[in-house]
Structure 1
Amino acid sequence: MAEFAAAVYQNEFLPVGGTDVSAIVSVTCTGAGTAGQGSGGDAGEIIVIDTSGSMGTTAMDAARRAAQAALGQIVDGTYFAVVSGNGAAFLAYPHVQSGPGMVRMDARTRAEAGRAVAALTSGGGTAMATWLDLTGVLFRSVPEVVQRHAILLTDGANNEATHVLDAAVRRAEGLFQCDCRGVGVDWKVSEVRRIAQPLLGTIGIIPTPEAMEAEFAAMMQASMSRGVPDAQLRVWAPLGAQVLFVRQVSPTVEDLTARRTSVNDLTGDYPTGAWADESRDYHVSVRLAAKDIGQEQLAARVQLVVGGQAAAQGLVKATWSDDHSLTARIDQQVAHYTGQAELAEVIQEGLAAKAVGDEETATTKLGRAVQLAAETGNEEATSRLRKVVDIDDEETGTVRLKRSVDKAAEMELDTASTKTTRVRR
């Protein structure tokens, strides 16, 4: 049975007139088990393969092998389906026209699905909204599936209007999680991020078709390890307080603030999706009314809620003091993740400026990214930044844009911009 634990890192001391309290709440899960194998309900997996004409022979061959590798990682008993997507979406497997659109995995269905995948061919355009909508229809066709996860592969830009794709994402939001991957360099990171982030999934680039098979197997293995189908981060704040923001800050930066659903006037839930044996860190900021020196107040109660029950809890506190040595301290965890959140933002802003030819803004933003990566010890980000800029001074963030940049390296920097490093505790 899964067990959760929570720890709070903060400086609870506020100066005279101080109002804002920030804390990092670290939540750890152990004993999560395997997806769909516990008492929480069945798990479902849908593999969505881009079969548009741009995939061509090489990428299409690799996609077929990748889908079969993913099928090989699905645990027996899990409901599954395969979707083929181009200018429309098609149910490649199972071969049904009505009723449930998913079947349980076993030796027979695995072999049948493998043959169906082997028969996929490329042609046509790209309409990702239809892919998402069919995936939603399939999940809804099997009500007993409560843990819903999809893998989506694309190799090019979407041919639909932005509002069409955004509407499909809204229809899918809260219904299933979706990990998205782009193969090659002809797809748009910002476009695929608009799918992955709202659907609580990851985004990544597969630079070459040859790397697709291992990536698909790893994604499916990770999904099968999430034995807790769903959980919410529940935040209570006292009457008169304002929750300024709630962000996941590790292993990736994800702003959850706007995704609050009300439990009551003082309490809101924020989605976290399914859990494996892992730790995640959340940054919670609350604004209180200032109180007199010496007074104390509970600023927030943060719980990880599974099946409507609190599985772990952390308390965020506030104490007003006139002792400058107490109030001036900045908690190491809060400072670290504040920098990591800014790092993700300036990388994306810098690359966007570079894409439109605004070299001055791009240099400033990516220079700040280099500075933040060094300050927070994010060596992976520094390594990726070196492929895009020449670094003269990490400490001051003095950089020069490279004149010749590998497109895949630039996209890797973009897709990995939200990945963070943890503070050693």
Structure 2
Amino acid sequence: MAEFSASVYQNEFLPDGGTDVNAIVTLTCSGAGAAGQSGGGDAGEIIIVDTSGSMGRIKLEAAKVAAAAAVQQILDGTWFAVVAGSHQAYLAYPPARSSTGMVRMDPNTRHQALQAIQQFRADGGTAMGTWLMLAARLFDSVPAVVQRHAILLTDGENHNETPEQLTAAIRGVTGRFQCDCRGVGVDWQVAEVRRIAQALLGTVDIIPQPEQMTQVFSDLMTRAMSRGVADAQLRVWTPQGAQILFVRQVSPTVEDLTGRRRQVNPLTGAYPTGSWGDESRDYHVAVRLPAKAIGQEQLAARVQLALGDQIVAQGLVKAKWSDDDSLTTRINAEVAHYTGQTELAEAIQEGLAAKAAGDDARATTKLGRAVQLAAETGNEEATQKLRKVVDIDSEETGTVRLKRSVDKADEMALDTASTKTTRIK
């Protein structure tokens, strides 16, 4: 049975007149088990493969091998389906005449799915919103499936839908399933696919070469099958008169959850975290309190993880007002680290956007700041990826020069990795 624990890192001392409290809450799960095996409901998996004409023979053949590898990792008993996506969504397996649109995995259905994947043909355009809507309908067709996860692969831009149509589709499926998104090659738009992944509590990354797809798909499905906790909510209670400034996941990736608050009661909000395996995640909670007199103290927030109505972990965020400068001026190391990591993600994305727009001055400033932050927070992966886009004269001051020639795949890899964070050492 899964066990959870919570730890809180903060400087609880506020100066005279101080109002803002920041804390990092680390939540850890152990003994999660396997997807769909906890007795709390079934697990479902949908593999969505771009079969538009732009995939061509080489990418499509590699995608077939990758999708087959993912199918092989799905545990027996798991509900599943395979969707082929072009300018429309097509249920590749099980056959459309199936009563539910999803079937349980067993040796027979596994074999049939592998055969169906081999029938993929590259043709048509790209309309990812239709792929997402079909996946949501498939999941909804089996009410017993409570743990819902999909893998989406694309190789191009969403040319056959307007941005508004994609936005409406994303809004329509948010909260109905989780989705990890991958783009193969360099002809897709990171920002476009990241919108899908962030809304659906998933990840986004680039697969530079088609032959790398198989390992990526296998790893994604193996990880999904290890998440034995179907769904958990982060609950944040604050006292009367307090204001939540933001709630963010800051590790393993930066995800702003503030706007996804659902009210539990007037003082408590719930934020989605999706399914869990054996892992730790860090959350940054910022609360504004009415100032109190020197010497007074107050509970600023109660941060809990809930499975349904059951509270499985809790951390307390505190506030104490003091006139001792040695206490109030200390910056908690964890808070400082993740504040820097959040700014790093923003600096990379803004710098690359400026570079794409031809604003070299702003791009240099932002990417220079990113280099500085990556060094300060010990994010070596970000530093390595930044070195492929800029020449670094000084990490300490963030002095950089834009490279004259940059491989587009390296630039996209930096963009997709911008929200990945490192833990404080």
| Residue pairs, 1:57-96, within 5 angstroms | 57-96=57-96
Q: Which amino acid aligns with 1:260?
A: R
Match of 2:113 in 1: 113
1:189-247 C-alpha deviation (Å, 9 max, x unpaired): 00000100010000000000000000000000010010000000000000000000000
Q: Which amino acid aligns with 2:408?
A: K
CA distance in 2, matches of 1:380, 1:130: 35
CA distance in 2, matches of 1:148, 1:15: 46
What displacement does 1:411 show? 0.2
What displacement does 1:96 show? 2.9
Match of 1:217 in 2: 218
Match of 1:39 in 2: 39
Q: Which amino acid aligns with 1:393?
A: S
Match of 2:388 in 1: 387
Does 1:295 pair with 2:296? yes
| Residue pairs, 1:291-330, within 5 angstroms | 291-330=292-331
CA distance in 1, matches of 2:99, 2:354: 49
CA distance in 2, matches of 1:105, 1:96: 17
Q: Which amino acid aligns with 2:352?
A: L
CA distance in 2, matches of 1:355, 1:111: 45
Does 1:197 pair with 2:198? yes
Q: Which amino acid aligns with 1:149?
A: H
Match of 1:131 in 2: 131
Query: What is the SS of the residue equivalent to 1:122?
Result: coil
What displacement does 1:308 show? 1.4
1:219-277 C-alpha deviation (Å, 9 max, x unpaired): 00010010000000000000000000000000000000000000011100000000000
Match of 2:164 in 1: 163
Query: What is the SS of the residue equivalent to 1:243?
Result: strand
What displacement does 1:409 show? 0.4
Identity of aligned residues (%): 72
CA distance in 2, matches of 1:176, 1:39: 19
CA distance in 2, matches of 1:19, 1:264: 23
| Residue pairs, 1:172-321, within 5 angstroms | 172-321=173-322
1:21-40 C-alpha deviation (Å, 9 max, x unpaired): 00000000000000001111
| Residue pairs, 1:364-375, within 5 angstroms | 364-375=365-376
Query: What is the SS of the residue equivalent to 1:163?
Result: helix
- Structure 1 unmatched ranges of 5 or more: none
- Structure 2 unmatched ranges of 5 or more: none
CA distance in 1, matches of 2:69, 2:101: 21
Query: What is the SS of the residue equivalent to 1:185?
Result: coil
Q: Which amino acid aligns with 1:337?
A: Y
Q: Which amino acid aligns with 2:412?
A: M
Match of 2:142 in 1: 142
Match of 2:356 in 1: 355
Which TM-score applies when normalising by structure 2? Answer: 0.99
CA distance in 1, matches of 2:47, 2:130: 14
What displacement does 1:423 show? 1.0
Query: What is the SS of the residue equivalent to 1:344?
Result: helix
- Structure 1 stretches of 4+ with a deviation exceeding 2 A read 96-99
1:55-83 C-alpha deviation (Å, 9 max, x unpaired): 00000000000000000000000000000
CA distance in 2, matches of 1:223, 1:170: 23
What displacement does 1:312 show? 0.2
CA distance in 2, matches of 1:134, 1:377: 42
Q: Which amino acid aligns with 1:62?
A: A
Match of 1:418 in 2: 419
CA distance in 2, matches of 1:308, 1:405: 51
What displacement does 1:290 show? 0.3
Q: Which amino acid aligns with 1:148?
A: R
Q: Which amino acid aligns with 1:396?
A: T
Match of 2:2 in 1: 2
CA distance in 2, matches of 1:147, 1:354: 40
Q: Which amino acid aligns with 1:400?
A: R
Match of 2:18 in 1: 18
Q: Which amino acid aligns with 2:43?
A: A
Query: What is the SS of the residue equivalent to 2:303?
Result: strand
Give the root-mean-square deviation of aligned CA atoms.
0.5
CA distance in 2, matches of 1:151, 1:323: 53
1:142-181 C-alpha deviation (Å, 9 max, x unpaired): 1100000000000000011111001111111000000000
1:371-410 C-alpha deviation (Å, 9 max, x unpaired): 0000000000000000000000000000000000000000
CA distance in 2, matches of 1:221, 1:172: 24
Query: What is the SS of the residue equivalent to 2:194?
Result: helix
Match of 1:404 in 2: 405
CA distance in 1, matches of 2:308, 2:241: 29
What displacement does 1:99 show? 2.8
CA distance in 1, matches of 2:130, 2:98: 18
CA distance in 1, matches of 2:346, 2:61: 36
CA distance in 2, matches of 1:244, 1:194: 23
Query: What is the SS of the residue equivalent to 2:180?
Result: strand
Equivalent residues, number: 424
Query: What is the SS of the residue equivalent to 2:43?
Result: strand
Does 1:103 pair with 2:77? no
Q: Which amino acid aligns with 1:3?
A: E
CA distance in 1, matches of 2:345, 2:263: 28
Q: Which amino acid aligns with 1:15?
A: P
What displacement does 1:97 show? 2.9
CA distance in 1, matches of 2:98, 2:262: 34
